[in-house]
Chain A
Amino acid sequence: MKVAILRFPGTNCEFDTQYAFEKLGHSTELVWHEAEKLPTDIDLVVVPGGFSYGDYLRSGSIARFSPVMKAVTAYANDGGKVLGICNGFQILTEAGLLPGALKRNNNLHFISKHQNLCVINNDNAFLNQCTKGEVLNIPIAHADGNYYIDDKGLEELEKNAQILLRYSDNEGNPVVVNGSVTSIAGVCNKNKNVFGLMPHPERALEAILGSEDGIRMLQGFEN
């Protein structure tokens, strides 16, 4: 598999993401935000975490207008697979490629810790190696991860099985972490080719560092 990983000024998870996919045996290419085209023959675009453009105005609001995002939008509209992690999730919602928006955490703190997540839907290109209801332990590190969507939008997400993950306790019961609507930690678009989540699977590849649950998440794209 060949993975394109975007870089904006302020991105800081691109090398972790690159390490993760290469550890899983894939080739990667970093793509600067000014690129007007994506590399050819790619199987996945990852918008990694960080603080693109210093989170000015709103997290992700400036990055979404980068030249490379035009190419990503065209790629996604053509059915290409796109994964946004943390700031990448914020960029994809700002770009309208994913529904909803990410607000400041309800406790106003930057939250950085390992967090249990419950797999809500796995019939998609991302979480197919996980089982429904399974609890994964993945690090989170964000200030603006409070997912908001209106009631009608939430109904749509439920109906189309677009909710990927919820923050949970170790038994899979939803818990309030940052104020997200129904504890949502990740969603996908209706066509199930664009995925976004606040937690960082690329930081959970080694048991010695606390968890290797991220491996199965990222391996989903191999199928």
Chain B
Amino acid sequence: MTAIVNVFLKEGVLDPQGKAAHHALDSLGFSGVNDVRIGKQIILQLDSEDKTKAEAEVKEMCETLLANTVIEDYTIELN
């Protein structure tokens, strides 16, 4: 099973990279962009075929290491 983890800075925590990219898009004439957030994607290949178990495991990985929950939120997608 593959787990796709997306980690982003929390709403309300200023994302300086997103802001810089937003500014660059504006300068290039791409109007109508309200906000840009830049995160990172972590792709995990798992042994487990049990979705519930895998989700719990990946959640623990996120809480322990993959995200810093003081400043970041994460989403988990399992395929």
Interface residues of A (CB under 8 A from B): 57-58, 61, 65, 93-94, 100-101, 103-108, 146, 148-149, 179
Q: Residues of A contacting B9 with CB < 8 Å?
A: 103
With A57-B65, A65-B65 known as contacts, the answer to whether A148 contacts B71 (CB < 8 A) is yes
Report yes or no: A106 in contact with B71, Cβ–Cβ below 8 A. no
B13 within 8 A of partner (CB):
yes
Among B13, B65, B66, B68, the most chain A Cβ lie within 10 Å of the Cβ of: B68
Partner of A94, one of B13, B20, B68: B68
B16 closest partner in A (C-beta): A106
Among B14, B16, B20, B70, the residue within 8 A (CB) of A101 is B70
What B residues does A93 contact at CB under 8 A? 70
Query: Can you list 13 A-B contacts with CB-CB less than 8 angstroms, sorted by A residue number?
Result: A58-B68, A61-B65, A61-B68, A100-B70, A101-B68, A103-B9, A103-B13, A104-B17, A106-B14, A106-B16, A107-B16, A108-B17, A148-B70
Instruction: Name B1-59 residues within 8 Å CB distance of A.
Output: 9, 13-14, 16-17, 20
Total count of chain B residues near the partner, CB < 8 A: 11
Contact yes or no, A146 B68, CB < 8 A:
no
Indicate if the CB atoms of A108 and B20 lie closer than 8 Å.
yes
Which residues of the other chain, B, contact A179 by a CB distance below 8 angstroms?
14, 16
Chain B residues near A108 (CB, 8 Å)? 16-17, 20
Known contacts A103-B71, A108-B20, A148-B71; A57/B66 CB under 8 A: yes
Residues of A near B16 (CB, < 8 A) are 103-108, 146, 179
Tell me the bound Cα distance from A58 to B70 in angstroms: 13
B13 touches A148 (CB 8 A): yes
